[in-house]
Chains A and B, each alone.
Chain A
Amino acid sequence: MKSDQVEPLLKLRGIGKRFPGVVALSGVDLTVRAGEIHALLGENGAGKSTLIKVLTGVYAASEGEMSFEGRPARPGSPKEAEQLGISTVYQEVNLLPALSVAENLLLGRQPGRGGFIHWGATKRHAREALARLGLDIDVEVELGTLSVALQQMVAIARALDLNARLLILDEPTASLDEHEVAELFKVMRNLREQGLGIVFVTHFLDQVYAVTDRITVLRNGTLVGEYLTAELPRLALVSKMIGREVNDIAGRSGELPAPDDAAPVIIEARGVTRRDALHPLDLTLRRGEVTGLAGLLGSGRTETARLLFGIDRADGGEIRVRGDAVRLDSAKDAVRLGLAFCSEDRKSEGILPNLSIRENLILALQGKQGLWKTVSRAEQETLCAHYIAALRIKTPDAETPIKNLSGGNQQKVLLARWLATKPELIILDEPTRGIDIGARAEIEALIGRLRADGLAVLLISSEIEEIVRNSTRVVVLRERRRTADFQGHAIEPEALMRAMAGAAPTTGGHA
């Protein structure tokens, strides 16, 4: 394998990054050659962001070596990285929206003399920099008035103007439409011709196969491997990202009941859609069933949950709850209708950190009952005692602030918060993320009990095993569309992965 005669543009070897109590990266290699587009892939928590921060000097690596253009490099700040020739363009462009395009392009290095800026030269220079990307933008307008796609182009133009040889594009396509993505790809290919190295981070596998030459996959902060894009089938890529070879995944336990098409429908979505979030989606959730919602990051899973729970408003389509068309303008409306939603983001959308377990636990119930119909102190304490015992929440007492609990115990309190409202549907978005194995098993057991008690459960998870083990039906989303569904014994890891990857024809089914 002596194909790389030339020294690669960027070489990372054995990069590790530790934070107090957490190993974010360990032993990661990354090689980017000049004139290649290199995909950096991995699910949540894989370490992509940390690696990019090491690359761009935001973090200092705890261990490992980095060389750029054959010389050892260790940028101490994003500015130093830029000076080396490493520039980053983020999804949310980190330029200054209130300044003009020209000012953004030449920020901090505007031509001038004695503290006075030479505006004529600034604008001329800016126009030239944009022309190199084939862009004709008025350089005097405020950056913030441009579309995200154009702002990214400005950011790329700035990077090139800074003489970048390595361009890192961190999820640049997340908020672009198809046409804009095509334009971006054109620019990326163009830059590849000019000999730039490009690191491309994305969740969209179609885009990986459309534009990249090589792929590096990370998982849980470690390197899975580097592959030639043309030689890595989609299914193999997905299994590398989620860390499971198809054969490794335990099958379903025999205990799950067959789906019952006669079971009463709790919630039914017809053509529910929201711009930039979800293509029109049909979904039917029934009593006594666990519907798994599978898909890769960015496939529209959480977006679906938010629409069903009234957090975001749908642009179109209809939602029926127990047969009646409803209007969901807020979570409050959804709670009144007997829905519950345990968010994947415990910290910012779940806990009230400084309030007690008791207050956190009764919050949704009290909200449902309103201001005047209070849950009496005695009832509160009964509820707490019940759920602390039933869910085995480890805490000295119910008055402890919830922030003092471990992630798993916080999650159990949040589950209890929703169960206390006696919901008919509970949406669990990544209910086991970031919690230890013991608590994980308990939560999965709880899902089974809820199903047996007649709740409808919508289970969103990145872990195929979790979906396979717990679901009576599975709906697969890919690129914000429902692409496949499975039920009963058709719920197999391999079939699910194929559907998630968009690899091959999917097994039919109907839900």
Chain B
Amino acid sequence: MSERKKPISPILWPLLGLVALVVLNLVLNHGFLNISVLDGRLYGLPVDILNQGARGLVLALGMTLVIATGGVDLSVGSVMAVAGAVAAVLLAKGSGLALALGAGLALAVLAGGANGLLVARLGIQPIVATLILMVVGRGAAQLITNGEVVVVKSAAFEFLGNGHVLGLPFAPLLACVLFLAAHFFLRRTAAGLFIEAVGDNEQAARFAGLAAARVKGLVYVFCGLCAGLAGLMAAANIRAADSYRMGENMELDAIFAVVVGGTALTGGRFLLLGAFVGALLLQTLTTTMYNLGVPPAVAPVPKAILILVVCLLQSEHARRWFGGLFKKGGRA
């Protein structure tokens, strides 16, 4: 993503993990990569992964920028639920699609704004500030749906989750377009530099004349917007808003994707492509376990192991340590 010469790009490790997973899947199921065309649309396991992973990708995009400023947003899962719930309830009451989508996104932006205000203006620690909305948001979503699963019968809305454009699934396409747009915005304007500067040394950035608080606030707004969009996609995907389960634990997946993708939790340099690969890696793993029949309750264990392995690989320290072990072993 940048032309800097680096010994090893941090993106290499999640990419290796992804390749390893695909190989494992191929061994278990020779037809893993098979893609078929039905009614002019693509079908197959890789397409499923992309389809189901689209929401995680969108979340990871927003989360990358928040983490780049040295923060974190725990509320994205709940914000997903709020946005999905509002849109679903409005549609169920017969509102137009534009109003439903607009209201969902507007609430999500508002939520992001609240996080930004708490963190950037009031100086509350991001983990605490966003924890508030994580809890409140889930409750608000339940209130909006009255604690019920609201079923949506709108073909136009469903398109957001399951539609196809030129035979390609719409949701992952949207995620990719968003990543590209974000990349160009961040690297063609000064936004990327400002975010990295604030994340690397906020005080120095402020002394250099940057509006550090504004930069920090705005990344939370953007993150909220991404969460809202992910919530709409989730509701569209299952044609219903389940305010209890929607977006549950997604904030953790998003953080994992970003970190596995090589952006440090301490802030500074961010790698959008890394987060993209990281989110894909997580989804591939989830789908793999589903296909292997691993019970959902046990699924977090292999996920945790994978994350640990990738993080260890990324740590130069750990790599050297392992290298030393092997050398000793060789001599013995």
B184, chain A: closest CB distance, angstroms: 12
Taken together as a complex, chains A and B put the C-alpha atoms of A72 and B194 apart, in Å, by 56
**Pair A348/B268 contact, Cβ less than 8 Å:** no
**Pair A363/B197 contact, Cβ less than 8 Å:** yes
Tell me which of B200, B205, B207 contacts A341 (CB under 8 A).
B207
**Does A359 count as interface, using CB distance less than 8 angstroms?**
yes
**Pair A363/B206 contact, Cβ less than 8 Å:** no
Neighbouring A residues of B194 by C-beta, 8 Å: 366-367, 371
A-binding segment of B122-130, B208-216, B300-308: B208-216
**Pair A349/B210 contact, Cβ less than 8 Å:** no
**Pair A370/B190 contact, Cβ less than 8 Å:** yes
Taken together as a complex, chains A and B put the C-alpha atoms of A355 and B194 apart, in Å, by 11
**Does B239 count as interface, using CB distance less than 8 angstroms?**
no
**Does B5 count as interface, using CB distance less than 8 angstroms?**
yes
In chain B, positions 1-56 with a C-beta closer than 8 Å to chain A are 4-5
Chain B 138-152, CB-CB to A under 8 Å as 1, else 0, gives 000000000000000
A364, chain B: closest CB distance, angstroms: 5
**Pair A353/B200 contact, Cβ less than 8 Å:** yes
**Pair A359/B189 contact, Cβ less than 8 Å:** no
Tell me which of B188, B191, B268 contacts A355 (CB under 8 A).
B268
**Does A399 count as interface, using CB distance less than 8 angstroms?**
yes
**Pair B190/A311 contact, Cβ less than 8 Å:** no
Neighbouring B residues of A370 by C-beta, 8 Å: 190
**Does A372 count as interface, using CB distance less than 8 angstroms?**
yes
In chain B, positions 126-177 with a C-beta closer than 8 Å to chain A are none
**Pair B207/A366 contact, Cβ less than 8 Å:** no
**Pair A374/B189 contact, Cβ less than 8 Å:** yes
**Does A331 count as interface, using CB distance less than 8 angstroms?**
yes
Q: Which residue of A lies closest to B185 (CB)?
A: A371
Taken together as a complex, chains A and B put the C-alpha atoms of A220 and B62 apart, in Å, by 50
**Pair A363/B4 contact, Cβ less than 8 Å:** no
**Does B201 count as interface, using CB distance less than 8 angstroms?**
yes
**Pair A332/B209 contact, Cβ less than 8 Å:** yes
Contact flag A356-B4 (CB < 8 Å), given A351-B201, A366-B193, A371-B190:
yes
Neighbouring B residues of A366 by C-beta, 8 Å: 190, 193-194
**Does A307 count as interface, using CB distance less than 8 angstroms?**
no
In chain A, positions 196-242 with a C-beta closer than 8 Å to chain B are none
Contact flag A311-B209 (CB < 8 Å), given A366-B190, A366-B193, A371-B190:
no
Neighbouring B residues of A364 by C-beta, 8 Å: 208-209
Contact flag A363-B208 (CB < 8 Å), given A354-B200, A355-B200, A374-B189:
yes
Tell me which of A334, A349, A371, A374 contacts B204 (CB under 8 A).
A349
In chain A, positions 365-398 with a C-beta closer than 8 Å to chain B are 366-372, 374-375
**Pair A331/B206 contact, Cβ less than 8 Å:** yes
**Does A417 count as interface, using CB distance less than 8 angstroms?**
yes
B109, chain A: closest CB distance, angstroms: 19
A329, chain B: closest CB distance, angstroms: 11
Taken together as a complex, chains A and B put the C-alpha atoms of A375 and B201 apart, in Å, by 21
Q: Which residue of B lies closest to A363 (CB)?
A: B208
Contact flag A359-B203 (CB < 8 Å), given A372-B189, A374-B188:
no
Neighbouring A residues of B210 by C-beta, 8 Å: 332, 363, 367
A373, chain B: closest CB distance, angstroms: 8
Q: B193, B204, B208, B269: which has the most chain A beta carbons within 10 Å?
A: B208
**Does A291 count as interface, using CB distance less than 8 angstroms?**
no
Neighbouring B residues of A355 by C-beta, 8 Å: 196-197, 200, 268-269
**Pair A330/B193 contact, Cβ less than 8 Å:** no
In chain A, positions 336-355 with a C-beta closer than 8 Å to chain B are 336, 341, 343, 348-355
Neighbouring A residues of B269 by C-beta, 8 Å: 354-355
**Pair A349/B191 contact, Cβ less than 8 Å:** no
**Pair A349/B207 contact, Cβ less than 8 Å:** yes
Taken together as a complex, chains A and B put the C-alpha atoms of A351 and B190 apart, in Å, by 18
**Pair A352/B207 contact, Cβ less than 8 Å:** no
Q: Which residue of B lies closest to A403 (CB)?
A: B200
**Pair B197/A332 contact, Cβ less than 8 Å:** no
Chain B 259-273, CB-CB to A under 8 Å as 1, else 0, gives 000000000110000
Contact flag A332-B203 (CB < 8 Å), given A359-B197, A374-B188, A374-B190:
no
Neighbouring B residues of A359 by C-beta, 8 Å: 193, 196-197
**Does A278 count as interface, using CB distance less than 8 angstroms?**
no
Chain B 52-79, CB-CB to A under 8 Å as 1, else 0, gives 0000000000000000000000000000
**Pair B207/A311 contact, Cβ less than 8 Å:** yes
Contact flag A330-B211 (CB < 8 Å), given A359-B197, A366-B193:
yes
Q: Which residue of B lies closest to A331 (CB)?
A: B209
Chain A 415-439, CB-CB to B under 8 Å as 1, else 0, gives 0010000000000000000000000
Contact flag A343-B190 (CB < 8 Å), given A352-B197, A355-B200, A359-B197:
no
Tell me which of B189, B190, B200, B203 contacts A349 (CB under 8 A).
B203
Neighbouring B residues of A375 by C-beta, 8 Å: 190
**Pair A352/B189 contact, Cβ less than 8 Å:** no
**Does A335 count as interface, using CB distance less than 8 angstroms?**
yes
Taken together as a complex, chains A and B put the C-alpha atoms of A495 and B268 apart, in Å, by 48
Neighbouring B residues of A343 by C-beta, 8 Å: 207
Q: 18 A-B Cβ contacts within 8 A?
A: A331-B208, A335-B208, A348-B201, A349-B203, A350-B204, A351-B201, A354-B268, A355-B197, A359-B193, A363-B205, A367-B194, A367-B208, A368-B209, A372-B189, A374-B190, A375-B190, A399-B4, A399-B5
- 17 new A-B pairs (CB below 8 Å) besides A336-B209, A372-B190? A331-B207, A331-B208, A332-B210, A352-B205, A353-B200, A354-B200, A354-B268, A354-B269, A355-B197, A355-B268, A355-B269, A356-B4, A363-B193, A367-B209, A367-B210, A368-B209, A369-B190
